[in-house]
Structure 1
Amino acid sequence: MKVRERLEELEYKLLSPYAAKSRDAVRDREEQLCDFRTSFQRDRDRIIHSKAFRRLKHKTQVYIAPGDHYRMRMTHSLEVAQISRTIARGLRLNEDLTEAIALGHDVGHTPFGHAGEYALREIIGHFNHNEQSLRVVDYLERNGQGLNLTLEVKDGIVNHTGTNKPFTLEGNIVRIGDRIAYLCHDYDDGIRAGMLRPTDLPEKVARTLGTNPSSMITVMVSDMIQVSDGQSEIRMSSAVQEAMDEFREFMFEKIYHSAELEPDRTKAKYVIHKLYDYFMAHPGRLPQEFLDREERWGLQVTVIDYIAGLTDSYAISLFENLFIPSKWGMG
């Protein structure tokens, strides 16, 4: 018996009846199965080794061009994976599927965080980073071949936010785990930046979740496990859900929509708009791999794909090279 087959059997013996089983995973293009990795393990590995995942280490979470200890998209994705795997293990759900979704959920995110996402939405009318993440794994990685991920992983990626919920419980874990992660680590970074103090938290949030990021995560994770254990849906108790919702409103007011960060958000959106205008007018300046895609996708989609894939630092450097005069020596 192959290692993969033994692992697949163990899933049926050890996991909850509600867990997704890797033996049942479906891909758009059939391929030979691995001898020692399940389908969900392969998906996780493909995401980790993708160029889009590597670029996340230089993409903003909240603070543009931050110091070393602030979260970036990659550290955010790792924290979502850690939180979500803990929940999945507690509920005897499929950890490999959960981890793959968590690691891949933001691979289509723009430079400059949501400011970049909003800028592209202003330009073309419709742009969502979750949909771009699906596009990355389906079409853009591997020189346009895509990663051929399982439908279970792709569903979890595209539905980690928005109105539709994933069809697996593992995907629903990531959907909530993503929110737990960004609220708590953005709160932690807000304290580090001097924009927040623990005493600023609303009374219900502090009383129910605590004021320390680690304890907040523990409260929400343990509540999800206790309330969802043996159930066919993933949820929190009403008390913890209400506290989390109030925590989210607090973070939007104090951090995500704060006047203090607005100048950087405005500058970031300006950079995105200018880069879009430039490449639409000068498509020949796009990298060759993107020029090769233009016939299939059209110029606008190709330019959007290119800009959405940029890291913060590369977008700024590109803007400077295109629009800022060179500094000549005196003498």
Structure 2
Amino acid sequence: MKIRERIEEQEFKILSSYAAKSREAVRDHEEPLCDFRTAFQRDRDRVIHSKAFRRLKHKTQVYISPGDHYRMRMTHSLEVAQISRTIARGLRLNEDLTEAIALGHDVGHTPFGHAGEYALRDLIGRYHHNEQSLRVVEHLERNGQGLNLTAEVRDGILNHTGENKPFTLEGNIVCYGDRIAYLCHDYDDGIRAGMLKPVDLPAKVSKVLGSNPSSMITVMVSDIITESDGKNEIIMSGRVKDAMNEFRSFMFSRIYRSDALEPDRKKAMYVISKLFESYMSAPGNLPQEFLEREERWGLQTIVVDYIAGLTDLYAIKQFEKLFIPATWGIPK
């Protein structure tokens, strides 16, 4: 018996009846099975070895061009994976599927975080990072061939945010894991930036969740495991969910939409809009690999694909190249 087959057999013995099973995973394009890894383990590995995932280490979470100890998109994704796996293990659900979804959920994020996302949305009418994440793994990675991930992982990536729920419990775990992670680590970074103090938290939040990021994560994760155990749904108790929602409203008011960060948000959106205008009027400045896709996808789509894939610093570098005069004769 192959190692993969042994793992697949163990899943049926150990995991909950509600868990997604690797043996039942579906891909759009059939391929030879691995002797050692299950389908979901291979998906996890494909995401973590992708170029899009590597670029997340230089993409904004909240603070543009922050110091070394602030979160970026990659550290956010790793924290989502850790939180989500803890929940999956507590509920005897499929950790490998959960991890694959968590690691891949933000690979479609733009430079400059949500500011870049909103800029593209203003320019083309519709842009959502979860949809772009799906596009990245389906069509853009591997030089346009995509990663051929399982339907379970792709569904979890697409529906980690928005109105539609993932069809697996593992995908629903990531929806919660994503929110828990960004609220708690953005709160932590807000304290580091001097924008928040623990005493600023609403009374209900500090009473139910605590005021330390670690204790907040523990309370919410423990509540999900306790409330969801033995059920075919991922839920929170009303008390903890109400506190989490109030925590989220607080973070939007004090951090995500704060006046202090607005100047940088506007600058970031300006950079994205000018790059878009430039590449639309002069597509020859795009890399050849993107130009080769124009006939299939159209000019606007390949321009968006290119801009969305840029890191913060590279977007700024391209802006300088296109719009800032060269300093001729000045020694570096």
TM-score (norm 2): 0.99
Q: Which amino acid aligns with 1:224?
A: I
Q: Runs ≥4 in structure 1, deviation > 3 angstroms?
A: 328-331
Unaligned stretches of 5+ residues in structure 1: none
Percent identity between the aligned chains?
Answer: 79
Residues in 1 aligned to 2:176 and 2:222: alpha-carbon distance in whole angstroms: 13
Residues in 2 aligned to 1:330 and 1:126: alpha-carbon distance in whole angstroms: 43
Residues in 1 aligned to 2:70 and 2:318: alpha-carbon distance in whole angstroms: 24
1:102-141 mapped onto 2 (5 Å cutoff): 102-141=102-141
Residues in 1 aligned to 2:199 and 2:212: alpha-carbon distance in whole angstroms: 11
Please name the residue that 1:150 is paired with: 150
> How far did 1:321 drift?
1.1
> How far did 1:174 drift?
0.2
Residues in 1 aligned to 2:168 and 2:183: alpha-carbon distance in whole angstroms: 23
Q: What do you get for the CA RMSD once the two structures are aligned?
A: 0.8
Please name the residue that 1:257 is paired with: 257
Please name the residue that 1:218 is paired with: 218
Please name the residue that 2:227 is paired with: 227
Pairing 1:279–2:276 present = no
Please name the residue that 1:239 is paired with: 239
Please name the residue that 1:201 is paired with: 201
Pairing 1:304–2:316 present = no
Residues in 2 aligned to 1:244 and 1:44: alpha-carbon distance in whole angstroms: 29
1:38-57 mapped onto 2 (5 Å cutoff): 38-57=38-57
Residues in 1 aligned to 2:109 and 2:194: alpha-carbon distance in whole angstroms: 26
Q: Which amino acid aligns with 2:248?
A: R
> How far did 1:328 drift?
3.3
Residues in 2 aligned to 1:309 and 1:321: alpha-carbon distance in whole angstroms: 18
Residues in 2 aligned to 1:290 and 1:326: alpha-carbon distance in whole angstroms: 27
Residues in 2 aligned to 1:99 and 1:75: alpha-carbon distance in whole angstroms: 14
1:64-79 mapped onto 2 (5 Å cutoff): 64-79=64-79
Please name the residue that 1:3 is paired with: 3
Residues in 1 aligned to 2:182 and 2:77: alpha-carbon distance in whole angstroms: 9
Q: Which amino acid aligns with 1:151?
A: A
Q: Which amino acid aligns with 2:187?
A: Y
Please name the residue that 1:319 is paired with: 319
Q: 1:50 to 1:216 in 2, by over 3 A?
A: same
Q: How many residues align?
A: 331
Q: Which amino acid aligns with 2:5?
A: E
Please name the residue that 1:289 is paired with: 289
> How far did 1:327 drift?
2.1
Residues in 2 aligned to 1:327 and 1:224: alpha-carbon distance in whole angstroms: 57
> How far did 1:326 drift?
1.7
Residues in 1 aligned to 2:178 and 2:133: alpha-carbon distance in whole angstroms: 15
